[in-house]
Amino acid sequence: MSESVTREIVLPLEREEAWRVVTEPDHLREWLADDVEIELVEGGQIEIGWDGGGRRLGTVETVEELERLVFRWHPEEPGPDHIETTVEIGLDDAGDGTRVTVVESGFEALEPTSLAGCTAVSTWIWDVRLGACGDLPLMLAR
Amino acid sequence: MSPDPVGATFAALADPTRRHVIGVLSGGQEASVSELARELPISRQAVAKHLAALADAGLVESSRQGRETRYRLTPGPLTDAGAWIDRVGSEWDSRLGRLRRHADTRPRSA
């Protein structure tokens, strides 16, 4: 099972403009989510929300201007998807434009045998008794 | 902008009554609307409405047995890590689609 998601796209933009588009809130609100706040420094806070539902909180890990932005994020609400993943947005030259590569990783926590996955589901279950955590690997199996 | 699909799945679970319905179904037993209504302090109509919402989120399935429809829990969407990662992939597909359209509207600097 693949434990990361990779996507890339080539934009008809100079590198500087592409960097602004993937790091500045005014631009991020046009494509990433409806509400985006980001402190573009290492350790900076990120808050992202979608009008249709869902909010994510995160922390900036790495800022290499014009090259690479790395952040960790997780859903605000508890749930079985309440795992923290890492998103890396990288830029490089591609002919007449700039290639944007997005890699989201850290899905190991969803592995069937993962204690973290089990804990995540347990946290979410609250009063819903889907079974003792010992039974979860069975449920988590694909 | 469309909602975060993964978040939307869990939005279906935000309602305490729907969590209660899942609790009743979590024994692995199938149940009809009438049986669920007996277990829960709500009407048959309300049970049917909540079951429809859970079915939309892929969390319950119904099957016709004789004259009645029976429901069972399908927790797969919550717990299938592979399907999960596929959903994350499609989220990025739509985000990058919007990014491309946004970039196309930017004036190109010299």
* ipTM exceeds 0.95, yes or no: no
Which residue type occupies A22?
Answer: V
- pLDDT band (50, 70, 90) for residue A39: very high
CA distances from A42 to A45, A72, A102 (A): 9, 11, 18
Mutate which of A5, A14, A69 to test chain B, going by most B C-beta atoms within 10 A? A5
The fraction of chain B above a pLDDT of 70, given in percent, is: 75
Between A136 and A104, name the one with better pLDDT.
A104
Determine whether the interchain pair A77/B4 forms a contact, defined as Cβ–Cβ distance below 8 Å.
no
> What is the spatial distance between Cα B94 and Cα B45, in angstroms, rounded to a whole number?
36
Strand ranges of the sheet holding A45-49, from the earlier edge strand across to the other edge: A4-11, A97-105, A85-94, A68-75, A55-64, A45-49, A35-38
Residues contacting residue B22 through CB under 8 Å, at least 6 positions apart: A128, A130, B13, B54, B59, B60, B73
Quick: pLDDT tens for B50-65. Answer: 999 888 888 889 999 8
Burial class (CB in 10 A: 0-12, 13-18, 19+), A31: buried
Torsion sign across C-alpha atoms B82, A132, B60, B9:
negative
Which residues of chain B from 18 to 57 reach within 8 Å of chain A, CB to CB? Answer: 19-20, 22-23, 26
Instruction: Please give the backbone phi and psi of residue A6, each rounded to the nearest 5 degrees, phi first.
Output: -125, 130
CA distance A80 to chain B (A): 7
If you measure CA to CA, which chain A residue comes closest to B83?
Answer: A142
- pLDDT band (50, 70, 90) for residue A127: very low
Beta strands A35-38 and A85-94, pairing class: unpaired
Helix (H, G, I), strand (E, B) or coil at B58: coil
